[in-house]
A and B are shown apart, each in its own frame.
Chain A
Amino acid sequence: MSLARAAVVAALALTATPALAHDVVPGVGGFYGGLLHPLLIPAHLLALAGIGLFLGQQQRPMSVGLLAVFTASLVIGVIAIVSAVSPMYQGEVVLGVAAVAGLLVALARPIRALLSLPLITIAGIAIMLDSVPDDMSMQRTFLALVGTVIAAFILATLIAEATRALAHDWQRIGVRILGSWIAASAILVLAVRLAR
């Protein structure tokens, strides 16, 4: 092999990159990767925590209704992805949702269901649009999205129910403080994204 050929081979070998498939945990893709996605992506965790705390602060009928809307919006997000909608700024929208939800939790004021609907709907759709796995087959992508829908629903429901179970005043105050932390973190990261 001539030196020139050897150099070309070396160039190709050195430039070869691992086939990353946007797995949150390396080697765990498809349905289980989708399940883990909301748990391991901090922005999604912030948004889901904010939404869950917010739902937990509401009266049960309204909370159940909003949770149903949230689930429907997650499914709408999947349909949008399957329909090849190419979103923009979905990551920023997820952070915006976390900031607004965190603020509402910190304020802990009664809010009409109609005013909450846009937040909940945007949250579900944006979380899904920001959860699209790269470089996967259609089937694996769909399975991953189904996993994400299930995980997001379970997480929001668990946090909402846990919040509702808090009976003492100091626990409710703790929830409001958590809301302020979520809002503060999300606002800061939004600023970082804008600055970059």
Chain B
Amino acid sequence: MSFERPALKAVLSLALVLASAPAWAHTGSVAGGFFGGLAHPVFGIDHVVAMVAVGLWGAFLGAPAIWLLPIVFPLVMACGGVLGILGVPIPAVETGIATSAVVLGLMVALAARPPLWVAAVLVGAFAIFHGHAHGAELPAGADAVAYSAGFVIATGLLHLCGIAFGTLAAWPAGRLAVRTAGGAIALAGVAFLALQ
């Protein structure tokens, strides 16, 4: 067997080139994309505590904040996500995320009751940092729709966890527990800031 002949080399080269798999840009499965998105916010502890804090604060403030904040957050987060996906830089994203835990945790711990629009603007401002981080980290191979739906739902469910815990504030002992949780979230935020 000889590989000296140019024609044979060309044919073999062609065979190898043609046999190589194409590099699809859209390789992710729907299920994989969805569960990847669902897991994404849960495995970032800085995201988790901030999401829970939004729910806690909403529950603490009562209606309409209890439902307005979880509506505002994903919508503004999506705008931040668009900036991240398009590569528009936002300075100090990680600092912003850590600060969100500090500020939102403090709001709960101090039982702060600002006007609704102030709470919405504050939560919305922090949502931009969270969205930017999510958008910038969106894996290229994932099914984009399923992944995005997954992580938006996970974010919403984390809010619901906060709201569920925050409803304990209806009782004096529960109120103390909720404020303590807010303090713990603020301390966690300080730790995130210190670790940067």
User: Which residues of A line the B interface, CB within 8 A?
Assistant: 3-4, 7-8, 10-11, 14-15, 40, 42-43, 46, 95, 103, 106, 173, 176-177, 179-181, 183-196
Contact = CB atoms under 8 A, between A and B. Distances in A.
A190 B72 CA distance: 19
Contacts of B191: none
Interface of B: 1, 5, 7-8, 11-12, 14-15, 18-19, 25, 30, 33-34, 67, 70-72, 74-75, 77-79, 81-82, 85-87, 135, 138, 143-146, 148-149, 152-153, 156
Nearest to A11: B15
B75 A180 contact: yes
The residue among B75, B77, B153 with the most chain A CB atoms within 10 A of its own CB is: B75
Given A8-B11, A194-B86, A177 B70 contact: yes
Main secondary structure of the interface of B (DSSP, over half): helix
A190 B14 CA distance: 38
Contacts of B81: 184, 187-188, 191
A179 B86 CA distance: 24
B67 A177 contact: yes
Main secondary structure of the interface of A (DSSP, over half): helix
A192 B144 contact: yes
A184 B86 contact: no
Given A3-B1, A40-B30, A176-B71, A187 B15 contact: no
A192 B33 CA distance: 14
Given A15-B18, A187-B81, A191-B81, 6 more contacts: A42-B149, A95-B145, A181-B149, A184-B152, A185-B148, A195-B86
Contacts of A179: 71
9 contacts: A4-B7, A7-B8, A11-B19, A14-B18, A43-B145, A177-B71, A180-B70, A185-B152, A194-B85
A176 B153 contact: no
